[in-house]
Amino acid sequence: MMNKPPAVSARGLTVVRGARTVLDGLAFDVEPGSVTGLLGPSGSGKSTLIRAIVGTQAKVTGTLDVLGWPAGSASLRSRVGYVTQAPSVYDDLTARQNLEYFAAVLGVPRRERPEQRDRVLSDVDLTAHADDLAGNLSGGQRSRVSLAVALLGTPELLVLDEPTVGLDPVLRRDLWALFHRLAADRGVTLLISSHVMDEADRCEQLLLLREGSLLASGTPRELRDLTGTDTVEDAFLTLVDSARQHEYPR
Ligand SMILES: Nc1ncnc2c1ncn2[C@@H]1O[C@H](COP(=O)(O)OP(=O)(O)OP(=O)(O)O)[C@@H](O)[C@H]1O
C-alpha cells in the first residue's frame, strides 16, 4: 500500500514576531484525512501557526510542507481552504451572492459555480437561508457562510481558526459532525484550532501548543494514557506542570 504524505509536515518551524520567538522549533506531522485539533491557551501561537501553514505569516524559518509543497506555494492556493477567526462575508450580499462572488474571485469556472454554490450551502446547512442578507443572519450562520466559502473549489486541506467560538452547543455539535463527514466522505484533512479543551475529544489527533512550543501530540486517548488522566484538559495541565519542573527544576 502506498502511504500518502502528511497533509502538513513541520521540522524546526520557528516564527519570530517583533522581538519575540512566537513559535519555537516545532516538529509535527498532520495525518492526511484526519480531523486534527490544534489546542492551546490564548496567546500560545495557534493563529500564528495557522497563518504559517496557509502562507500568510512573515518570518517563518525551518521546514513547513503542505500537501507536499512548501507552505505558501502558488500551487496550493486552490487546494487549501482557510477560515479566519473573524467571519469575512459581505453583509449587503445574500449568502448565495457571497458564494457566487467568492467563487468568481477564487477562479471557479463559471459553469461549475451554481453546482458548487448549492453544494457548499447544503454542506453547512444554510440552503433555507440562501437568500437572506448576510447582515441579517445570526453570528453562527454568518460563520457558516465563511466556512462555505472555504469549501468552494473542494480543498484537500481545510484550516479553521477557532470555528466554534461563541456558538451554542447544538451548533457546535453540528459543525463537528460536518467536519467529520468532510473527512470521512471526501478525505479532506481538517486542522482546527480551539482554546476549549473539551473540544479535544472530538478530534482524532491533537497538537497541544503552549507558549510557542509543542507540548505533546497524539490521539486523545494516547495523551490521557501518557499522563494517567481522565480528560485531555487534565492531560494538558499535567504536561504543563512537568514542562515547568523541567524549566525551573527545584
Ligand atoms: N507583532 C508582534 N510582536 C511580538 N509579539 C507578537 C506580535 N504579534 C503577536 N505576538 C505574540 O504572539 C503570540 C502568539 O499569538 P497568536 O495570535 O498566534 O496566539 P493564539 O494562540 O492564536 O491566541 P488566541 O487564541 O488568543 O487567538 C502571542 O503571545 C502574542 O502576544
Tell me: the pLDDT tens digits for 157-205? 999 999 888 778 888 888 899 999 999 998 999 999 998 888 899 999 9
Q: What is the mean pLDDT of residues 144-162?
A: 92
> Ligand 1 mean position to 45 CA, how many Å?
6
ipTM of this complex prediction, to 2 decimal places: 0.92
Check residue 196 and give its pLDDT: 85
Q: Which residues have CB under 6 Å of ligand 1?
A: 17-18, 20, 22, 40, 42-48, 195
Enclosing domain of residue 96: 91-152
> How does pLDDT run across 74-118, given as a tens digit for each residue?
999 889 999 988 778 999 999 999 999 999 988 889 999 999 999
Same domain, 29 and 59: yes
Q: What is the CA(50)–ligand 1 centre distance, in A?
A: 12
Task: Encode burial over 220-244: b for 16+ CB neighbours within 10 A, e otherwise.
Answer: beebbeebebebbeebbebbeeeee
Mark whether 34 and 63 lie in a shared domain: yes
- Residue 242 within any structural domain of the chain: no
111 and 176 fall within a common domain: no
63-67, 127-131, 135-139: least confidently modelled range: 135-139
* Pocket residue to mutate for ligand 1, from 17, 51, 213, most atoms within 8 A of Cβ: 17
Which residue's entry shows cell 500560545?
Answer: 44
CA 113 vs CA 24, 75, 104: distances in Å: 42, 21, 8
Mean pLDDT of 139-158: 90
Please provide the average confidence, as pLDDT, over all residues in the chain: 92
Quick one: CA torsion of 137, 143, 148, 151, rounded to 10 degrees? 180
Are 64 and 164 found together in one domain? yes
Tell me the HSE value of 245 on the side-chain side, using a 13 A CA sphere: 5
Give the DSSP H/E element, type plus range, for residue 145. helix 139-151
* 72 and 100 co-located in one domain: no
Residue 214 has pLDDT above 90, yes or no: yes
Q: Using a cut of 0.80, tell me whether the model's pTM lies above it.
A: yes
- 204: domain CATH number is 3.40.50.300
